[in-house]
Amino acid sequence: MPDATTSDTSAPRTARRHAFLGILLAFGAAACTVDVQPAETVLLDTPPVSTHAVADVQGSSVPDSDLRSDEQAVVDLFENTSPSVVYISTLTRRTDVFGRGEIVPGGSGTGFVWDEEGHIVTNYHVIEGADQARVVMFDQTGYLATWVGGSSRHDLAVLRIDAPRDTLKRVVVGDSDRLRVGQNVFAIGNPFGLSATLTTGIISALNRQIEGVTGDLIEDVIQIDAAINPGNSGGPLLDSQGRVIGVNSQILTLSGTSSGLGFAVPMNIVQRVVPQLIATGEYTPARPGITLFSSRVNRNVSRRVRVPGVLINQVTPGFGAAEAGLRGTNPRASLLGDIITTLDGEAVQNDRDYRRVLDRYQSGDDVELTVWREGELLTVVLGLR
């Protein structure tokens, strides 16, 4: 750091130093990106968005003989996986003070190739609110993307690009249920717009919970100490075999940059959500055929009967809840419906708990509930649709 004490003879040099620092700060501000918000349709008529060049890593590798075996393994992992990782930039429309519409840069993030149909997986918050998006491949070929679908509660979204199949290298998917604290992980992304950046670390903890865009909790989140910064969102988290085990989503920081606390949505949630987004454009959780009251009503009823849980409003005929004999509320008859107290063995105290636990299941699964009815606790098993 420069000496704070200066003399008259050092003034020109100090001025030059300050000017240089000013240039660096200006560049840093230009390079910083923010993760933005998805339009229902991503338009295809915008001018190309400029991106940072990517070094030709394929031709710049150090000869194998100069690398240790562990170094060579990391180099191979990056060179095999980076062609599947993409740079995403967005544009948004805004109106100036004179009522004139204009298109301005929105933000940027990362994504990865899901299949040979051109589907790109990223975070929902990277695309949320954007009017247009552009995907730049590893070889710097750019494509305007179309919106496929998203799940804000899981912070996941899917775009699609019309690229030749032979240029689409899909990622290899891993099993996030088999992860261990302490194992090595690798993140590839575009922090601050710097494309194809590799960072390394370990899994610091498992089974964390973070809030999605809607405030719902995302379960089984992977905590890592690999550097994750703005622009990394939506990028793949890899194990030492180059398999994607999560989607980098959030950091916990006071400064806005990496502090060694990064979080990734686990791949087993991604595998449950993304196929639905591709097929239907939205994620529909498994349904027992129950509607609930608002949080305020639930709190008042729980306080009155002194039973924590969620009150069933209506039971839909033909679904598992009706077949299991669960009962809804009938205001005309002053009949209070069943109060769900546990789901899958876990206490349910509000509608968020209910959605969080139910989200683990898929259509066709059975789930066990404990309900309070007129002073008694009943346990039932019902099928989900």
On whether the CB atoms of residues 300 and 363 are closer than 8 A, the answer is: no
Active-site pick, 89, 108, 119, 125: 125
| Catalytic status, residue 155 | yes
What distance in Å separates the CA atoms of residue 300 and residue 283, rounded to the nearest whole number?
31
In angstroms, the Cα distances linking 249 to 72, 137, 210, 266, 280 are: 28, 20, 10, 10, 23
Strands 376-383, 346-347: pairing is: unpaired
Catalytic residue among 155, 216, 225, 353: 155
Structure tokens at 197: 């950046």
Calpha distance 78→68 (Å, rounded):
16
Query: Which residue has 């989900």 as its token pair?
Result: 384
* Residue 380 bridge partners (DSSP): 369
Tracing tokens 């560049």 back to the chain, one arrives at: 27
Strand 236-238 with 244-251, pairing: antiparallel
Alpha carbon 108 to chain centroid, angstroms: 14
Clarify whether 125 is annotated catalytic.
Answer: yes
φ and ψ at residue 43, rounded to 5 degrees: -75, 160
Identify the helix (H) or strand (E) that includes residue 113.
strand 101-113
* Beta bridge partners of residue 330, listed in sequence order: 335
User: Closest Cα to residue 186, out of 178, 168, 169, 174?
Assistant: 174
Question: Both tokens of residue 46?
Answer: 């915008």
- H or E element: which one contains 370? strand 366-373
CA–CA gap between residue 222 and residue 248 (Å, rounded): 9
**Considering 84, 151, 152, 233, which one is annotated as catalytic?**
233
Burial 88-126 (b: 16+ CB within 10 A, else e): bbbbbeeeeeeeeeeeeebbbbbbbbbbeebbbbbbbbb
Active site residues: 125, 155, 233
